[in-house]
Structures are given as C-alpha cells and as structure tokens.
Amino acid sequence: MPKVFITGTAGFIGFHLAKELLSFGYEVVGFDGMTDYYDVELKRRRHAMLLQNPEFSAVEGRLEDFDLLRETALNAKPDVIVHLAAQAGVRYSLENPRSYIESNLVGTFNVMEVARELSVGHLLMASTSSVYGGNTEMPFDEKQRTDTPLTLYAATKKANEHMAHSYAHLWKIPTTMFRFFTVYGPYGRPDLALFKFVRAALAGEAIDVYNHGDMSRDFTYVGDLVRSIRLLIECPPEAAADPADIPEWDSLSPVAPFRTVNIGNGDCVKLLDFISETEKALGIPIRKNMMDMQQGDVPATWANSDVLFNLTGFRPNTPISKGVQDFVDWYREYYD
C-alpha cells in the first residue's frame, strides 16, 4: 500500500481519513498545527486515538513553517499527499481574514512545493462548495464557473485550485481537488451547525436559525467523505493526449493532470428538516431564534457527484437520519 502524508490529521476530516486509511493497511504520516481555532483537547484526543495504531505517526507544526513541513515530508517519503489542513470556517473569515491568507495561501503553497520536490504520485487537496459562491444553477457541477466567491474563505480556496492547476501543468504533478459539501459526523468541529444545535439543545438553550430557516444544504456524512477520498487516491489524473478524448462527464483539465471532484450527498435538504432530525435523535424539542441571513452565506448548496461516481463507482448516500443519530450518540458519550 502507498504511504500517505496527510496535513490536518488532528482535524475533523483529517482524523477520519487517517482512521479510514489505517483500517485498509496504509501507512499514514500526519502533520498538524494544533491551532486554537477550537478546542485543542478535542484535537489531541483524535491524535491520541490514531497513535494507538503503529502505522501512524505525526509531527506538530504549522504549514507556514516551510522548513519543518519539508523536513517531515522528506523524511516520510510519501507516495501520496492529502492536504486537508486549513483555516476553516466561512464566518470566521469575516473576523480574522489574515489567518486565511497565512494558512490557506502560504501554507498551501508550501505543501505544493514539497509535492514538487518529492515528485509524488498523487497530490489531493481540499477545496469547498463555497467556491460556487453566487451560482444559482443547481446541482452544482465541476464545470460551472466559480468566479463569484462571497467570502474570503471561498476566495482562498478558489485561489488554491488555480495554484494547484498551475503546478500540475508546470511540474506534471497528478492533482485532484475535492470540493466538500457541509460535512458532519462524530468528532465534528464545535463551530459546525450540528455540533452547535446539539450542544445548545442539551443545555436548554435556543439555536440561531438563519434566513428564518429558508436554507438548504447538501449534508455529507464524514464516513462517506473519507471513503470517497480513499477511492480517489487510486485515481490520479493523467494528462489528456488529446483534449477531444476527455469524456463529457469528466472535469479533467485539457492542459494538465488536474481534476476537480465534488464530494456531496447529492441531496438538497432543508435546514428545518435537518433540525427536525436533530430533535428526533435527541428526543427533545429545540427552541429556535429566527434570524436574518448572515453576511457571506448562501441560501442553498447541492452537489452533482457524477465525476466521483464515474471515477470510483461510489456516491455518498448516508441518510441524515442515520448521520445525525451517529453524531448525537457520539456527543453524548464523549461529553458524558
């Protein structure tokens, strides 16, 4: 099995991906900065669980520390790099925009430089459904223009896609960018909606419901997401000899071994229905503060996952009833 170097292994998605790959016999080397954007103890708990497997090792460091990142990666000699570490959070980008420039632009550049030096067999990097920005034609597919980002977070992720495409073209690095759609599940981030809903409900507090509940999201269970990434690892893009030969469904670049892939459940779920499933899983009603739309937010997201399916034969398919129940069960056990 290939050795995989993952940035962000103490994070929500990185933890689940490392766990998934280890269960399939991969050797995984992690790199994470343990920043205090949210509960560091939760991050350390995730790493501690991974370190119980002898095929996992990790180094703590920031992406901006190029020397340490490079040293760690060169020592690991990975076949594949999966870059998940980033300054996350759509709304936080309104409060602390500089952290997005430092982590998502400078940090991603450093990862690409390491991938170039190592000539890795496949570089996979996280983008976001937020790059679709002001688009209104849904479901979103990878060939749509993404020129209207509504937040700096989305803009940095779109910049990452452009940066990665140029490196794929210049240095022939097979590169896959995946666009995530509202990921949720056990060991999730405390700033994500489901975590906030459950925490508030169990404390007897009301939750804030934006745009008066008139919102929809393509909620994607984290187990489906990391399975998708594992399968995509084995699908490195190959430069097309003739762009005319690229299948109609494919998002492959005509000038580089580069592809974008949506990873979403393919289901546009109303926010109020998602909250209703949370109430069912908890067994209690949730009080709601109906609020106006937040700055930079979008009314709906919805993924076309045909590229993922044609490459891997898999589509995310976990119903929100199961996914939400799994999260609630974890939350109650973790926080006792």
Residues with a catalytic annotation lie at: 153
153 phi/psi in degrees, rounded to 5:
-55, -50
Alpha-helix runs per DSSP H in the chain: 12-23, 40-50, 66-76, 92-95, 97-100, 107-118, 152-171, 193-202, 222-233, 271-282, 306-312, 320-334
Nearest to 186 by CA among 42, 56, 60: 42
3-state secondary structure 140-176: ECCCCCCCCCCCHHHHHHHHHHHHHHHHHHHHCCCEE
Q: What is the DSSP string of 252-294?
A: --SSSSEEEEEE--S--EEHHHHHHHHHHHHTS---EEE-PPP
Contact 298, 91 (CB under 8 A): no
Q: What are the CA-CA distances from residue 15 to residues 29, 44, 152, 292 (Å)?
A: 12, 10, 25, 34
Q: Which amino acid is at 228?
A: S
- Sheet of 3-7, strand order: 56-60, 27-32, 3-7, 80-83, 122-128, 175-180, 258-263
Angle at 157 between CA 94 and CA 103, to 5 degrees: 70
**CA gap 299, 132 in Å, rounded:** 12
